[in-house]
């Protein structure tokens, strides 16, 4: 079969490789679509220690079941599925508390196991979620992305979340803003430096699109909230400066959630302000199977728009697409690689 092989920093090529065989408890899928994650781009740049070349990446995907191993009775040949790629142990304290995304023994399809930038991929049957017929492969490949955004809110300490600031209008920022709108936030600010992304944010329900080239984002958020600050700030960029901004955007008792990877240095936090204003700062890592199931529900019922942020490219164009996404993404937000498209 054909596979997009990661060979080292900024090195990828299409290769002819062996198809995965069927093993107990597993399904072999014919890949429908596999989206490129920001973390795959980090890997391509050699910044992801867990991604050891040679590796087939791709952890956000759909496929059709073409073979089933012994014990994989929950699926049938021909089923279309999307996959929670995080394989947690189910036995450690974190797993037993439902915090499966931070299981210390977890592995991920497309990171520690061959992923879906290929014609076929082998996955555990219990990681599969059946796709309704009306959910296409591109949308199905976005279920994983939306799960990340849902996890932010799932673990939030707030009751009502009335005002939200989202830093960065990339995939995660655009999804977080839609979740904020869905749960009833009335003031939603989104910051970015790319006009087309801000326009998309507005069309998806942002009430305030803040161009950071023109305006100070913290001041703009305080203007939006009559000088109060927001209940929840989501940092979806991954820079030290924007992490610090997220905390400065909060109202008393507000919560900043950090999602972006790759900050240059540890952030500075005003500990006295944190105490006096009862601020919360926390990280959000990946998602649980509950987030994943809810994500599929929101996409299949049309409550969250994922279609307008993802475009399809042929898997064979993979090496060039990775280079473009890290050097000059332009208007591209999310790209799904589709074999033989």
Applying CB under 5 A, the residues found at the interface with Zn ion are 37, 88-89, 92, 95, 103
Our CB check for Zn ion shows the closer of 92 and 290 to be 92
Shortest Å distance, C-beta 227 to Zn ion: 37
Q: What angle do CA 104, 42, 100 make, to 5 degrees?
A: 25
Our CB check for Zn ion shows the closer of 89 and 274 to be 89
Our CB check for Zn ion shows the closer of 146 and 250 to be 146
Shortest Å distance, C-beta 336 to Zn ion: 12
Shortest Å distance, C-beta 90 to Zn ion: 6
Residues 6+ apart with CB under 8 A from 103: 86, 88, 89, 92, 94, 95
**For residues 203, 208, 211 and 215, what is the CA-based torsion angle, rounded to 10 degrees?**
170
Residue from 133, 108, 131 nearest 55 by CA: 108
Residues linked to residue 74 through DSSP beta bridges, in sequence order: none
Count Cα atoms within 13 angstroms, Cβ side, for 338: 17
Prior bond of 54 cis (ω within 30°): yes
Pairing of β 250-258 and β 230-235 = parallel
Our CB check for Zn ion shows the closer of 171 and 207 to be 171
Shortest Å distance, C-beta 40 to Zn ion: 7
Task: Pull the structure tokens for residue 192.
Answer: 């970015």
Residue from 171, 172, 208 nearest 191 by CA: 208
Shortest Å distance, C-beta 78 to Zn ion: 27
Our CB check for Zn ion shows the closer of 86 and 189 to be 86
Terminal Cα-to-Cα distance of the chain (whole angstroms): 15
Shortest Å distance, C-beta 209 to Zn ion: 25
Count Cα atoms within 13 angstroms, Cβ side, for 317: 13
Residue 233: φ, ψ to 5° = -120, 130
Our CB check for Zn ion shows the closer of 177 and 286 to be 286
Our CB check for Zn ion shows the closer of 147 and 207 to be 147
Shortest Å distance, C-beta 109 to Zn ion: 11
């Amino acid at each position: 079969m054909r596979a997009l092989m990661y060979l080292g920093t900024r090195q990828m090529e299409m290769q002819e490789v062996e198809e995965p065989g069927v093993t107990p408890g597993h399904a072999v899928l014919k890949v429908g679509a596999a989206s490129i994650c920001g973390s795959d781009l980090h890997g391509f740049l050699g910044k992801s220690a867990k991604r050891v070349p040679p590796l087939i990446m791709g952890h956000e995907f759909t496929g059709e079941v073409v073979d089933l191993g012994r014990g994989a009775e929950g699926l049938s040949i021909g089923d279309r599925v999307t996959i929670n790629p995080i394989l947690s142990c189910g036995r450690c304290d974190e797993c037993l508390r439902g915090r499966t995304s931070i299981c210390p023994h977890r592995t991920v399809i497309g990171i520690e196991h061959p992923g879906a930038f290929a014609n076929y991929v082998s996955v555990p049957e219990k990681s599969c979620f059946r796709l309704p017929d009306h959910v296409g492969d591109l949308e199905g490949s976005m279920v994983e992305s939306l799960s990340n955004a849902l996890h932010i809110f799932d673990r939030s300490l707030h009751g009502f979340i009335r005002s939200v600031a989202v830093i960065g209008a990339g995939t995660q920022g655009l999804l977080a803003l839609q979740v904020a709108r869905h749960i009833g936030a009335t003031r939603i600010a989104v910051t970015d430096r790319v006009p087309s992304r801000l326009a998309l944010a507005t069309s998806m329900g942002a009430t305030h699109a803040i161009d950071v080239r023109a305006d100070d984002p913290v001041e703009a958020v305080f203007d939006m909230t009559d000088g109060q600050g927001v209940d929840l700030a989501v940092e979806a960029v991954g820079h030290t400066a924007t992490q610090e901004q997220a905390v400065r955007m909060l109202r008393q008792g507000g919560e900043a959630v950090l999602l972006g990877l790759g900050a240059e240095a540890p952030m500075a936090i005003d500990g006295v302000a944190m105490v006096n204003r009862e601020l919360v700062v926390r990280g959000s890592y990946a998602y649980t199977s509950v987030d994943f199931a809810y994500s599929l529900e929101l996409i299949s019922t049309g409550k969250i728009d994922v279609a307008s942020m993802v475009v399809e490219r042929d898997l064979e164009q993979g090496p060039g697409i990775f280079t473009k996404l890290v050097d000059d993404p332009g208007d591209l937000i999310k790209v799904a690689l589709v074999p033989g498209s």
